[in-house]
């Protein structure tokens, strides 16, 4: 099966918010699909070696203006400003459509996030995705948050054959915005569970710090909504309430790094808190496997590594302390596989961690419960097989409703 994937940028090898997307596309390639990926205008090609080797040569970027002219592929719809606004007036639609039109026909085109769903919808309007090609869009929490009253999604809702949401909560939110219920289904996020060593199995690298009373890890960009500052302040509170050394590693980078470094020094936490920066996924996965708790203290957002990091922790048999936010509330069974806290609640974070220090047996039992849930609901290979079944289940020719 030939599959075209419309995304914002190529997922990197380093751990990040798009791990689940990289895993899904790599899985399709490993199952024998012929996949080509169409990043948007806003994503320059990554450095060689920064993407999965299976992806090499499969990224199709928008043509330059000169390239679009030379391609000879243009029709008035590509410049329809009243319908597509700045997407048309900036010539982005023309350049992206011209690049897409040069490729052989796809059996399915899968768009991730509503912004790319709108790209796919525009390509269908232009006749580049015909009625014999399945058009699928996966929607995520930011699509519901930024959907307003849903009117901006009306054309996408009409033009798309199937929508996939990672959980029931998001599906209900998208239905409220006008998504067609008969074409909107749940498809959970997947993770290659067999690649994760879990607590109790041998980890044949650097042993954990046995002097630490509690080992914590956060995987998140250093931006305000991720709440790393509040986690650091909670460590300072916890230090005064629980005897023993606490180790806290934060994987990720961003504009708040200088501020957080100053905060760590001012709270005299240099020996406890480490900002480890962005690291390759295997290094982050190993750090999670050595940890006692994965801490996800903020509300997150589109750039959030939250869902991917939570799944990594669950697969590793590591307990989770996470803010109540879409995604986390679907993944974490409060009191069973982790503890849910309020967003950016310093005292709440400290209290949850202190309770685990007082009852260390809960760390193990929560980790085991999380791994069991990951095995049952988030096995990547089973979900990728189900994804192909979704593609094949769409009745052709597609029923396209005019707006």
Length of the chain: 403
Q: Please say whether the beta carbons of 357 and 214 come within 8 A.
A: yes
Give exposure, 263-288, as e/b (b: 16+ Cβ within 10 Å).
Answer: bbeebebeebbebbebbebeebbbbb
Specify whether 156 is located in the same domain as 203.
Answer: no
pLDDT at res. 401: 45
What is the side-by-side order of every strand in the sheet holding 134-138?
34-39, 2-7, 108-112, 134-138, 162-165, 184-186
What average pLDDT does the segment 333-352 reach? 93
Domain residues for the domain of 372 are 194-377
Cα 170 from chain centroid (whole Å): 14
Residue 400 lies inside a defined structural domain of this protein: no
Q: Please say whether the beta carbons of 372 and 9 come within 8 A.
A: no
Residue 77 lies inside a defined structural domain of this protein: no
Q: Please say whether the beta carbons of 248 and 274 come within 8 A.
A: yes
Specify whether 23 is located in the same domain as 151.
Answer: yes
pLDDT at res. 285: 87
Residue among 207, 265, 271, 219 at smallest CA distance from 245: 271
Specify whether 203 is located in the same domain as 149.
Answer: no
Residue 92 lies inside a defined structural domain of this protein: no
Specify whether 56 is located in the same domain as 124.
Answer: yes
pLDDT at res. 198: 65
pTM of the full structure: 0.83
226 versus 319: the higher-pLDDT residue is 319
383 versus 57: the higher-pLDDT residue is 383
Specify whether 167 is located in the same domain as 214.
Answer: no
Residue 107 lies inside a defined structural domain of this protein: yes
| Distance from C-alpha of 320 to C-alpha of 336, rounded to nearest angstrom | 10
Specify whether 254 is located in the same domain as 366.
Answer: yes
Cα–Cα distance list, 348 to 90, 204, 250, 332 (Å): 47, 35, 19, 17
402 falls in which pLDDT band (50, 70, 90)?
very low
Specify whether 28 is located in the same domain as 125.
Answer: yes
CB within 8 Å of 364: residues ≥ 6 apart: 199
What average pLDDT does the segment 42-71 reach? 75
| Distance from C-alpha of 18 to C-alpha of 21, rounded to nearest angstrom | 5
Pairing of strands 293-296, 319-323: parallel
When divided into structural domains, the chain yields a total of 2
52 versus 166: the higher-pLDDT residue is 166
Residue 167 lies inside a defined structural domain of this protein: yes
CB within 8 Å of 248: residues ≥ 6 apart: 216, 217, 218, 231, 232, 235, 269, 272, 273, 274, 295
Strand partners, 163: 137, 184
pLDDT at res. 395: 60
Q: What percent of the chain has a predicted confidence (pLDDT) above 90?
A: 60
Specify whether 162 is located in the same domain as 223.
Answer: no
Q: Please say whether the beta carbons of 250 and 264 come within 8 A.
A: no
pLDDT at res. 280: 84
**In this structure, what CATH number is given to the domain that contains residue 304?**
3.40.50.2000
What is the side-by-side order of every strand in the sheet holding 245-251?
273-277, 245-251, 212-219, 293-296, 319-323, 338-341
Residue 131 lies inside a defined structural domain of this protein: yes
Determine which of 5-19, 29-43, 163-177, 304-318 has the lowest per-residue pLDDT on average. Answer: 5-19
pLDDT at res. 204: 43
- pLDDT of 244 > 80? The answer is no
Residue 83 lies inside a defined structural domain of this protein: no
Residue among 118, 114, 66 at smallest CA distance from 91: 66
Specify whether 139 is located in the same domain as 202.
Answer: no
Specify whether 224 is located in the same domain as 256.
Answer: yes
User: Both tokens of residue 243?
Assistant: 């005897």
Helix, strand, coil tally for the chain in percent (to 5): 45, 20, 40
| Distance from C-alpha of 259 to C-alpha of 266, rounded to nearest angstrom | 11
Specify whether 264 is located in the same domain as 170.
Answer: no
Instruction: Indicate the DSSP class of residue 400.
Output: P
| Distance from C-alpha of 60 to C-alpha of 21, rounded to nearest angstrom | 17
Cα 349 from chain centroid (whole Å): 24
pLDDT, tens digit, for every residue of 276-329? 998 888 888 889 999 999 999 986 544 344 467 898 899 999 999 999 887 788
| Distance from C-alpha of 327 to C-alpha of 166, rounded to nearest angstrom | 8
User: Both tokens of residue 165?
Assistant: 């949401």
Specify whether 159 is located in the same domain as 217.
Answer: no
Give exposure, 14-31, as e/b (b: 16+ Cβ within 10 Å).
Answer: bbbbbbbbbbbbbbbeee
Which helix (H) or strand (E) segment holds residue 339: the answer is strand 338-341
Q: Quick check: bond before 397 cis, omega within 30?
A: yes
Residue 212 lies inside a defined structural domain of this protein: yes
């Amino acid at each position: 099966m030939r599959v075209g994937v419309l995304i914002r940028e190529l997922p990197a090898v380093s751990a990040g918010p798009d791990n689940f997307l990289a895993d899904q596309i790599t899985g399709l390639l490993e199952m024998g699909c012929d996949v080509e990926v169409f990043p948007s205008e806003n994503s320059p090609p990554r450095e060689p070696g920064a993407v999965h080797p299976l992806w090499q040569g499969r990224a199709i970027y928008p043509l330059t203006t000169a390239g679009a002219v030379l391609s000879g592929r243009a029709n008035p719809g590509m410049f329809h400003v009243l319908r597509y606004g700045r997407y048309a007036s900036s010539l982005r639609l023309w350049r992206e459509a011209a690049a897409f039109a040069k490729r052989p026909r796809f059996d399915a085109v899968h768009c991730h996030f509503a912004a790319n769903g709108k790209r796919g919808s525009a390509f269908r309007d232009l006749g580049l995705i015909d009625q014999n090609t399945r058009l699928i869009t996966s929607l995520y929490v930011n699509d519901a948050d930024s959907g307003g009253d849903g009117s901006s999604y009306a054309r996408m809702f009409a033009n798309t054959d199937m929508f996939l949401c990672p959980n029931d909560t998001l599906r209900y939110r998208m239905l409220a915005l006008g998504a067609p219920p008969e074409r909107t289904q749940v498809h959970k996020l997947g993770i290659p569970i067999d690649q994760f060593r879990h607590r109790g199995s041998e980890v044949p690298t650097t042993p954990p710090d046995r002097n630490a009373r509690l080992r914590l890890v956060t995987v998140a960009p250093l931006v305000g909504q991720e709440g790393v500052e509040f986690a650091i302040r909670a460590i300072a509170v916890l230090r005064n309430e629980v005897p023993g050394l606490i180790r806290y590693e934060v994987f990720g980078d961003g504009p708040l790094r200088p501020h957080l470094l100053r905060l760590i020094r001012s709270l005299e936490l240099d020996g406890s808190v480490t900002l480890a920066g962005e690291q390759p996924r295997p290094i982050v996965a190993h750090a999670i496997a050595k940890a006692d708790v994965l801490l996800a203290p903020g509300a997150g957002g589109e750039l959030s590594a939250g869902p991917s990091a939570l799944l990594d922790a669950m697969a590793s048999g590591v307990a989770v302390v996470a803010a109540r936010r879409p995604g986390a509330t679907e993944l974490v069974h409060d009191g069973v596989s982790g503890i849910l806290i309020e967003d950016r609640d310093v005292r709440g974070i400290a209290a949850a961690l202190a309770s685990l220090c007082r009852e260390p047996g809960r760390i193990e039992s929560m980790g085991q419960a999380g791994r069991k849930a990951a095995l049952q609901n988030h096995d990547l290979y089973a979900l990728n097989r189900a994804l192909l079944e979704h593609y094949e289940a769409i009745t052709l020719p597609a029923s396209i409703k005019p707006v």
